[in-house]
Chain A
Amino acid sequence: MSQRALQKRIISATISAMDEAVADSLRKTLPAQTMGIGIADLGCSSGPNTLMVISEIINKIYETCSQMGIPLPELRVSLNDLPGNDFNGIFMLLPEFYRNLEKENGVGPEGCFISGVAGSFYGRLFPKMSLHFVHSSSSLHWLSQVPPALCTKAGKHLNKGKIYISKTSPPSVLKAYLSQFQTDFFAFLRSRAAEMVAGGGMLLSFMGRSSPDAAAEVGSHQWELLSQALMSMVLERRGSTLSMPPTTPHAEEVANIVEEEGSFIINHLQGFEIDWDGGPTNNDDDNNNNNVVNGFENLSRGRRVAKTVRAVVESMVESHFGRDIMDELFRRYGELVDQYFSKTRAKHINLVLSVTRINSCY
């Protein structure tokens, strides 16, 4: 639930960028299309955020078509995530979603078809030229694998004592993470290029960093603190072999890869700050939402971060260190974060990238 709160804030902050991207791609592709519109949300996860995103996209399409004075085309909406995602949870919400769609937008059962697609977006997921708009939020910072270069043949771990990049990581570690991101993001773009029509738009939002120096970024300090918490539990020998997959690329690195892949032009690429826990909550809106039911808002900020991070990395950490240490680990982690917050304002940088598929000879 707490992880969703953070993702919800990120999505909310990117909504106007997304609206613009949707409208833009429609104007570029609609005159030519005859077979309805294909929309995909990649890394859709499960829960209320999932349907909130596509609801927003559908509303925007509806609005744009009204402005253009054309009838609403048939909508094909695909929700994608890895095979382990809880799709059943999303599907149970669909009958009501369709009913609301009809009530609010007059979109009947022949107007919108929502499907689930399970698979890795670092490869092909959809038929050629079937998509007009692609959205992805809070997913592209997860690499397809831990950089293999982090383990030499001798099995000696390069990033010993760390679970991510930190100030004292050797340059080869930074290089390994960057290289993996480059490979992954390139594969992502290449796959989408085949699947999108010319003029189609893509809006991607993921964790990044503002400084070109991979080790300087405060955002990665979150992982540094988790590493410290692990160390403090005298797990040094085991601690040195766990490397976390998430990565925070710099905007320039991202732009370079887009240019190199060559199928997309960048409309804009921006970063905005977001607090590690989604931000302090002083206002009534937040107090009225679901988080209050969990008592989330009443926790210290450090413990909120701990809950958020735990929801994301639990399976990885648990499979490495076992279940017994988890509660204690994240308790200590929460304390370290509280201490850190008392000294600095800790934020992620969230990158928002909007691109358009150019004409091609595919």
Chain B
Amino acid sequence: MDVEKVFHMKGGVGDTSYFNNSSVQKSVAEKMKDITLDAIEQMYVTLRPRNLGIADLGCSSGSNALLYIKRMVGTVEKAAQSVQQAAPEFRVCLNDLPTNDFNTVFQALPDLYQELKKGRNNDAPSVYVAAYPGNFYGRLFPENSLHFVYSFSSLHWLSRVPPGIYDEQGMLLNRKSIYITKNSPTEVCEAYAKQFRQDFSLFLKCRSEEVVTGGRMVLVLTGRSSPDFYCKDNIFAWELLYQSFNILVSKGKVEEEKVDSYDVHYYGPSREEIEDEVRTEGSFKLDRVEMLKKETDCTSSGAAIAKTVRAVQESMLSHHFGEAMLDELFDEYGTLLDREMAKEAVTFIDIALVLTRL
């Protein structure tokens, strides 16, 4: 299955769309707000570009993309004032795979421009937004055209399901699961880790050609808190999804082989793996690494989390299983989540990185 051709967030603005179900991602970004705005301010004060290139990698189709733009423009304008410089022209580049629903983002643009003009006379900021469809595991932007890059909740998506999880006969080594579990053989874990290293390294290399010296990157991805592959905070959500599949299999709603042949193109790295790769690739230095812990509590809703995962996974699932079973699958998933959260708090880890181009 060609990930690039199939993978996308659920488009439009319906009930199950990413647009209306990306609030988990939003709470990640809220935490990231200070880190991000600090980083762009520091970059601006150092480089003071007249024409400022900003890129959002994995912008998806939600309202988050435009909200971030507004915040960043505001921060840079203030910074420009503080150094007595005219605000720059903003070139905002929104990237996602060609299968992303960009139309929904574009339809919300006129409102953004209106908001940027509100209360201003002739000094509204000059903001030019463009969509750059493409795979960020490759070149996307002209050389030396960017000063600030951010990517929230996208870099844990691999370019493909690691080929190393199949043996030479094409048999799946990772049976009875859709991702790494405590029973996964080492070769499987290492195949996932290797794919991540290759992808992340390529990502850094491509960005190094596009980001100017002194430019900054702020990257957030889900990860795990220990070097141990079987770390619960990372594999837990996938294990529950697999259990939801099993419930549907036992009801005869889904074939067992279909579930056995499904694997996610995902990896949650450890802090050490990230640091190693940045050092090895060599074009950026790591200014900052933050482990952001998110714990569920008694107010957390399994159904809400299930909806979030659905908006993200739906395209891959419906490609493999068809659409008919999705509602029931995520009902079961929500119920399982509620049950687990009632036993003990579930932890999700996000790793936030700030890098500077050397």
Contacts and interface: CB of A to CB of B under 8 A. Distances in A.
A206 interface: no
Contacts of B131: 87, 91, 115-118
Interface string A113-131: 1111111000011111000
A138 to B, nearest CB: 21
Interface string B196-211: 0000000000000100
A95 B4 contact: yes
Given A84-B107, A86-B103, A87-B106, A117 B134 contact: no
Contacts of A95: 4-5, 98
B143 A74 contact: yes
Interface in B97-114: 98-103, 106-107, 109-110, 113
A148 interface: no
Interface stretch (B15-23, B122-130, B295-303, B347-355): B122-130
B209 A94 contact: no
A128 B130 contact: no
Contacts of A76: 142
A115 B102 contact: no
A127 B51 contact: yes
A92 interface: yes
B139 interface: yes
A110 B103 contact: no
B93 interface: yes
B140 interface: yes
A78 interface: yes
Contacts of A124: 126, 128
B230 interface: no
Interface residues of A, number: 29
B109 A83 contact: yes
Given A88-B103, A116-B133, A127-B128, A36 B142 contact: yes
A71 interface: no
Q: Chain B CB within 10 Å — which of A35, A87, A113, A119 has the most?
A: A113
Contacts of A86: 103
A94 B109 contact: no
A155 interface: no
A87 B103 contact: yes
Interface string B111-155: 001000000000000101111111000111111000000000000
B329 to A, nearest CB: 26
Given A116-B130, A127-B89, A87 B102 contact: yes
A295 interface: no
Interface in A24-79: 35-36, 74, 76, 78
Interface in B52-92: 89, 91
Nearest to A93: B98
B3 to A, nearest CB: 12
A113 B93 CA distance: 11
Contacts of A74: 142-143
Contact of A83 (B4, B5, B89, B107): B107
A322 interface: no
Contact of B133 (A36, A94, A125): A94
A94 B134 contact: yes
Nearest to A80: B130
Given A74-B142, A113-B132, A115-B132, A88 B109 contact: no
B102 A110 contact: no
Contacts of A92: 98-99
A169 to B, nearest CB: 32
Across the A-B interface, the 7 shortest Cβ-Cβ residue pairs: A118-B106, A115-B130, A91-B133, A116-B131, A83-B106, A91-B98, A127-B89
17 contacts: A36-B143, A83-B110, A86-B103, A87-B103, A91-B102, A94-B98, A94-B133, A94-B134, A109-B138, A110-B139, A110-B209, A113-B142, A116-B131, A118-B129, A124-B128, A127-B89, A128-B51
